[in-house]
């Protein structure tokens, strides 16, 4: 089991690449910790904002003797942000049962081990990606190259596609990748 705190000293020193490795290792657990809020807040926005705040406070974080203290802090930060955002947009108190489910999600995510993926998964997905039809591959490639920096409308315009066509091609590319990975015996790798 990998302790993501091995990146902490480099992150505290301002090493953005180390922060990238930390986020890559903890993103799934952080996202899953917010499942209870999926209908109440835009989880992607909450998650990105939480990570930006963690980058800011990392130099002041001191390990507490347990693994993944920075990730546990990120999970708490994200949960508090999600609660604030949900209260703000709904202008009402949140259901206590939802808050209990959120705490349970966060505890589960904090305790879950980070398991390294099967290395054969990466060669399988490369093969599946190479076999995609042109248009879906172009659309997915534009999303991948952009890395969230550009809107889908801008990416579609660059490819000369209507926005809906672009979105359909992205969806189709992902479905084809999942089908292909399933045929190669890697369906379970996606859910890890």
| CB of residue 27 to other proteins, shortest distance in Å | 6
**For other proteins, which stretch binds (CB under 8 A), given 60-68, 71-79, 100-108, 161-169?**
161-169
> Which residue is it, tokens 């890395």?
147
Q: CB under 8 A: which stretch of 1-9, 61-69, 98-106, 165-173 binds other proteins? A: 165-173
Cα–Cα distance measured from residue 29 to residue 127, given in angstroms and rounded to the nearest whole number: 27
Q: Which of 97, 115, 149, 160 binds other proteins (CB under 8 A)?
A: 149
Letters for 96-135 (x = contact with other proteins by CB under 8 A, - = none) are ---------------------x---xx--xx--x------
Contact between 2 and other proteins (CB under 8 A)?
no
| Shorter beta-carbon distance to other proteins: residue 43 or 75 | 43
- Nearest distance from C-beta of residue 72 to other proteins, angstroms: 18
Q: Which of residues 54-73 bind other proteins (CB under 8 A)?
A: 55
Burial of 74 (0-12, 13-18, 19+ CB in 10 A): buried
**Tokens for 56?**
């800011």
The one segment of 1-9, 33-41, 71-79, 98-106 that binds other proteins by CB under 8 A: 33-41
Structure tokens at 179: 């089908």
Q: Which of 4, 51, 71, 74 binds other proteins (CB under 8 A)?
A: 51
Buried b (16+ CB within 10 A) or exposed e, 24-63: ebbeebbbebbbbbeebbebeebbeebbebbbeebeeeee
What distances in angstroms separate CA 147 from CA 78, 101, 188, one per listed residue? Answer: 21, 31, 25
List of residues contacting other proteins (CB under 8 A): 16, 19-20, 23-24, 27-28, 31-32, 34-35, 38-39, 41-49, 51-52, 55, 85, 117, 121-122, 125-126, 129, 143-144, 146-152, 163-164, 167-168, 170-171, 174, 177-178, 189-192
């Amino acid at each position: 089991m990998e302790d993501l705190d091995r990146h902490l000293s480099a992150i505290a020193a301002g090493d953005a690449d180390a922060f990238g490795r930390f986020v890559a290792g903890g993103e799934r657990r952080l996202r899953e910790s917010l499942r209870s809020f999926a209908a109440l807040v835009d989880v992607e926005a909450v998650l990105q904002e939480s990570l930006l705040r963690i980058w800011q406070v990392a130099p002041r974080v001191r390990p507490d003797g347990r693994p993944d203290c920075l990730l546990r802090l990120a999970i708490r930060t994200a949960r508090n942000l999600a609660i604030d955002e949900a209260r703000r947009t709904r202008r009402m108190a949140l259901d206590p049962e939802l808050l209990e489910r959120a705490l349970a999600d966060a505890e589960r995510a904090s305790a879950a081990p980070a398991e390294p993926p099967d290395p054969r998964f990466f060669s399988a997905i490369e093969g599946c990606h190479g076999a995609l039809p042109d248009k879906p591959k172009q659309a997915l490639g534009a999303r991948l190259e952009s890395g969230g920096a550009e809107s889908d409308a801008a990416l579609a315009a660059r490819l000369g596609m209507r926005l809906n066509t672009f979105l359909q091609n992205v969806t189709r590319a992902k479905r084809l990748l999942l089908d292909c990975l399933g045929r190669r015996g890697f369906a379970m790798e996606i859910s890890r």
